[in-house]
Every structure is written in structure tokens, then in C-alpha cells.
């Protein structure tokens, strides 16, 4: 069952999908029109999942599932991956880009993995979007992380 993100509990499990470029207004609408019904029908072994999504920075989509109602299974997670592959193919967007997303104010900049070392944009305090977030509560509390508190710390002396 699809619920507004505000109605999802803090303990909900999350997945972060980062696109390789910002969405246009029509793409944002297409994504919303695709995901709301998909989440309404999303199930694990025939049992409906309480789920939601949010689009941030016109480039990042966060999916949340309340696993106290029903837990997402391998098959249901695979289904969600197929949604993003399908949307990506239809819209010409790569939702599996693994660049580092740097946030400055309301702006998002992607740094490819091959360009991280000695990159002047990347400092210990640079705020990044982690592609793995422990829970919706952690996401709500300030899901952006300083680069030196992530795996990127290896790039700082």
C-alpha cells in the first residue's frame, strides 16, 4: 500500500536511487505517476507492503518500506530494481550511477569514482548523499554525511 512519506514510521527500511542527471519537470511527473501505483501493488510473497517514496534534489529517489507490517523479500526488492531499470530505459536516466553526490545548499554535483582522488570539491566537511541509509529516521534526522565520516575518509590525510 502506498502511503505519503510523512506517514511512514522512522524505523522504515530505505533504498536510495541516485540518477546520473537531474529530472525535468515532465520526468519528475512521470516518475511519480509510475512509482505511486507500483508501490500500491508492491508485495512480498503475496503480502502487501506499506511503502512510500520521495524525490530530493530532482535527482535522488528514496524508497521506504515499513517492515513491521510485512518485510520486503528478495523477490520484492528485485521488483523494485526492475522499476528503476524500466524507468531509466524509458526516460534515458541511469539510476545506478555510483558517483559521489556532493550537496552544497540546494545544489547536487556528481563526482565520478575515478575523479575522487585529489578533487578540490571534496573536503573532509563536504556533505554527501550516502547511497545506504540505516532507516527512514536516520534519513529524516539529517541523512547527509560529512565526507570524512564515510568511506571517503581515505582521501584525506
Tens digit of pLDDT for each residue in 30-43? 999 999 999 999 98
Residues of the chain with pLDDT under 50: none
d(Cα 128, Cα 137) in Å, to the nearest integer?
18
- Amino acid 143: pLDDT: 83
Q: Tell me if 135 sits within 8 A of 11, measured CB to CB.
A: yes
- The reply to whether the predicted model has a pTM over 0.75 is yes
Residues 6+ apart with CB under 8 A from 131: 16, 18, 98
Q: Tell me if 134 sits within 8 A of 12, measured CB to CB.
A: no
- Amino acid 25: pLDDT: 97
Looking from the CA of 132 toward its CB, the CA atoms found within 13 Å total 2
Residue with cell 533504498: 15
- The secondary structure of the chain in percent helix, strand, coil, rounded to multiples of 5, reads 35, 25, 40
- Amino acid 112: pLDDT: 93
Q: Where are the domains of the chain?
A: 5-91, 100-155
Q: Tell me if 127 sits within 8 A of 103, measured CB to CB.
A: yes
For residue 144, give the C-alpha cell: 547527509
Question: Maximum distance among all alpha carbons in the chain?
Answer: 51
- Amino acid 73: pLDDT: 85
Q: Tell me if 113 sits within 8 A of 128, measured CB to CB.
A: no
CB atoms within 10 A of CB 46: 6
Helices (H), 25-70: 25-41
For residue 59, give the C-alpha cell: 535527482
Amino acid at each position: 500500500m502506498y502511503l505519503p512519506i510523512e506517514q511512514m514510521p522512522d524505523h522504515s527500511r530505505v533504498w536510495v536511487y541516485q540518477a546520473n542527471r537531474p529530472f525535468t519537470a515532465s520526468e519528475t511527473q512521470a516518475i511519480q505517476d509510475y512509482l505511486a501505483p507500483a508501490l500500491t501493488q508492491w508485495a512480498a510473497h503475496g503480502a502487501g507492503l506499506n511503502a512510500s517514496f520521495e524525490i530530493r534534489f530532482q535527482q535522488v529517489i528514496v524508497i521506504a518500506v515499513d517492515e513491521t507490517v510485512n518485510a520486503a523479500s528478495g523477490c520484492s526488492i528485485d521488483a523494485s530494481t526492475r522499476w528503476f531499470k524500466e524507468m531509466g530505459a524509458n526516460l534515458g536516466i541511469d539510476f545506478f550511477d555510483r558517483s559521489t553526490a556532493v550537496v552544497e545548499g540546494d545544489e547536487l554535483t556528481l563526482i565520478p569514482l575515478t575523479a575522487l582522488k585529489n578533487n578540490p570539491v571534496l573536503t573532509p566537511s563536504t556533505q554527501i548523499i550516502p547511497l545506504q541509509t540505516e532507516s527512514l529516521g536516520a534519513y529524516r534526522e539529517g541523512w547527509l554525511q560529512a565526507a570524512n565520516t564515510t568511506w571517503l575518509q581515505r582521501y584525506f590525510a
